[in-house]
Amino acid sequence: MNERPGTRNSFSGKIGFVLAAAGSAVGLGNIWRFPYLAAKYGGGAFLLVYIILALSFGYTMIVAETAIGRMTRKSPIGAFRAHGNQKHFRAGGWLNAIVPMLIMPYYSVIGGWVCKYLFEYLRGGAAGLAADDYFGTFISNGASTEMWFLVFAALVLLIIFSGVRNGVERVSKISMPILIVLALVIAVYSMTRPGAMEGVKYLVIPNFENFSWMTVVSAMGQMFYSLSIAMGILITYGSYMKDDISIEGAAERVELFDTSIAILAGLMIIPAVFAFSGGDPNALQAGPSLMFITIPKVFANMGITTLVGILFFALVLLAALTSAVSLAESVAATFEDELGWSRKRATLCITAIMVGLGTLSSLGYGPLANITIFGMAFLDFFDFLSNSVMMPIAALASCIYIVRAVKIERIVEEVERDGAPFKRKKMFCFMIKYVCPIFVVIILISSIANVLGWITM
Ligand code: PFF
């Protein structure tokens, strides 16, 4: 056995890591992003590609990142320095550390939109939310979006500052079970509306007429985003994981949980859209606004609007909060480990990054709408930069670091540390060495070319 760095602050019980990692994974990505991508890029075909990718590629990356974290007991920058301190590897660590800093602010802006919708449902404003152009008017109102962004950001910062790792664990422990129950209730309700079965069929039965290269590219990007891969999160959480816990078992549970919630969210939203619009392609293509525009209309049509609306947005808020906390936790750990900062100082700096970049995103559809980068508003640009450009590079860096510096055998050794055999060892080794790096490069090129208009997919 190799010499191990001293154990640091760790998750308490067996379930701590799983809940915290699942809390990070399950978020806006599952409830807001997955359904609109599935609706847009092929329904059942998208779902099938997504599941295959998650079980092979996603699984490999979760295991690899968690193992690196536990083996080094470091957040990404330190973890990438631990095996041969070469410059290009260090850059990989930095990338993994910077991505969450870019995602956290704009993610919190969308979290703010969710707070606003929940607030409106709570005070009985359901009819207003279903009105045409409510969402457009809201996001172009800089003062209002900024205020709700700050409300959400304050919640995140409070948890980070006060709870530290226990905070992350406790919030996840309470909210994850509630989330499953809420998701089930709403999905059943939605699927039992008249006409909703067509939507269920659209989501679960693959129809390859709807398949395109973009189905693969978007499913891949979504998988990274949804499982919180290549953002330093799993490295950080792995560094808090005890030695006797099975990395493989944890990875399986996180995946199962994350994918189930995504499918449940699809089953909440897509059948509701069919019941409401009869599967109108325009409604299905609504994209990012599907949750904020279509859903309130769908709920309004369903009768018991206010209660369903409150339940739904409360669920989304919980999910968004645990994910945003994980982003902030990863950034905090980086500051503490690399700069030796206290939690207080780290939180202050995170506040500055959050407010600075978040304000750009929150005002980007209103007062700052005339400033665009490659034709994108700030929020879309940060999303594109982090998910389509930096994340694939960070994932590539992880693969190369593992194969060249850490060595696959040591990862295998780490995974087997709890004494149980590594069940999917062969697949893991093959994926991390060959398939993952090649795939990541193809995805990176495709998505950049797509945004720059060189190819249309
Ligand atoms: N995985 C989260 C979601 O699906 O909403 C989002 C997210 C959390 C992305 C943490 C990145 C991250 F580091």
Q: Which atom of ligand 1 is nearest to the CA of 323?
A: 8
Q: Is the backbone of residue 2 left (phi > 0), alpha (psi -120 to 50) or beta?
A: beta
* Structure confidence at residue 242 (pLDDT): 87
Query: Which residue's CA is minimally distant from atom 11 of ligand 1?
Result: 228
CA distance 419 to 326: 29
| Ligand 1 pocket mutation pick from 96, 156, 226, 331 by most atoms within 8 angstroms of CB | 226
Distance 95 CA to ligand 1 centre (A): 16
Query: Which residue's CA is minimally distant from atom 8 of ligand 1?
Result: 323
Distance 27 CA to ligand 1 centre (A): 6
Q: Which atom of ligand 1 is nearest to the CA of 319?
A: 5
Distance 405 CA to ligand 1 centre (A): 27
Q: Is residue 129 part of a domain?
A: yes
Domain of 59? 16-451
Query: Which residue's CA is minimally distant from atom 12 of ligand 1?
Result: 228
Q: Which residues contact 77 (CB under 8 A, 6 or more apart)?
A: 90, 93, 94, 96, 97, 334, 337, 338
- What CATH number does residue 97 fall under? 1.10.4160.10
Residue 376's beta-bridge partner residues? 373
Q: Is the backbone of residue 241 left (phi > 0), alpha (psi -120 to 50) or beta?
A: beta
* Structure confidence at residue 110 (pLDDT): 95
Per-residue pLDDT of the chain (457 residues; tens, 9 = 90+): 444 555 566 676 667 788 888 888 999 999 989 998 998 888 999 999 999 999 999 999 999 999 999 999 988 888 888 887 677 788 888 888 899 999 999 999 999 999 999 999 999 988 899 888 899 999 999 999 999 999 999 999 988 887 545 666 677 777 778 888 888 888 898 899 888 999 999 999 998 888 888 788 889 889 989 999 988 889 988 988 888 889 999 999 999 999 999 999 999 889 988 887 777 777 777 777 788 987 888 788 777 778 888 988 988 998 899 899 889 988 888 898 888 998 889 999 999 999 999 999 999 999 999 998 888 889 989 988 888 888 889 999 999 999 999 899 999 999 999 888 899 999 999 999 999 999 899 888 988 887 777 766 5
* Structure confidence at residue 2 (pLDDT): 46
Q: Which atom of ligand 1 is nearest to the CA of 226?
A: 4
Q: Which atom of ligand 1 is nearest to the CA of 30?
A: 4
Q: Side chain identity at 58, as an amino acid letter?
A: G
Contact indicator for 106, 275 with CB cutoff of 8 Å: no
Q: Which atom of ligand 1 is nearest to the CA of 103?
A: 11
Distance 107 CA to ligand 1 centre (A): 9
Distance 192 CA to ligand 1 centre (A): 30
Q: Which atom of ligand 1 is nearest to the CA of 231?
A: 13
Q: Is residue 49 part of a domain?
A: yes
Q: Is residue 149 part of a domain?
A: yes
Distance 121 CA to ligand 1 centre (A): 25
Contact indicator for 5, 72 with CB cutoff of 8 Å: yes
pLDDT in tens, 221-240: 899 899 999 888 899 889 88
Distance 23 CA to ligand 1 centre (A): 9
Q: Is residue 409 part of a domain?
A: yes
Full-model pTM: 0.88
* Structure confidence at residue 168 (pLDDT): 64
Ligand 1, CB within 6 Å, residue ranges: 24-25, 27-30, 100, 103, 225-226, 228, 231, 233, 323, 326-327
| Both tokens assigned to 445 | 């090129």
CA distance 344 to 204: 47
Query: Which residue's CA is minimally distant from atom 7 of ligand 1?
Result: 228
pLDDT in tens, 29-58: 999 899 989 988 889 999 999 999 999 999
Nearest to 334 by CA among 224, 400, 405, 235: 235
Distance 26 CA to ligand 1 centre (A): 7
Distance 224 CA to ligand 1 centre (A): 8
Q: What angle do CA 148, 149, 154 make, to 5 degrees?
A: 100
Distance 416 CA to ligand 1 centre (A): 27
* Structure confidence at residue 87 (pLDDT): 76
| Ligand 1 pocket mutation pick from 323, 331, 391 by most atoms within 8 angstroms of CB | 323
Counting the structural domains of the chain, the total is: 1
Q: Which atom of ligand 1 is nearest to the CA of 28?
A: 5
Q: Is residue 3 part of a domain?
A: no
Q: Is residue 249 part of a domain?
A: yes
Distance 116 CA to ligand 1 centre (A): 21
Q: Is residue 8 part of a domain?
A: no
Q: Is residue 9 part of a domain?
A: no
CA distance 296 to 129: 6
* Structure confidence at residue 4 (pLDDT): 58
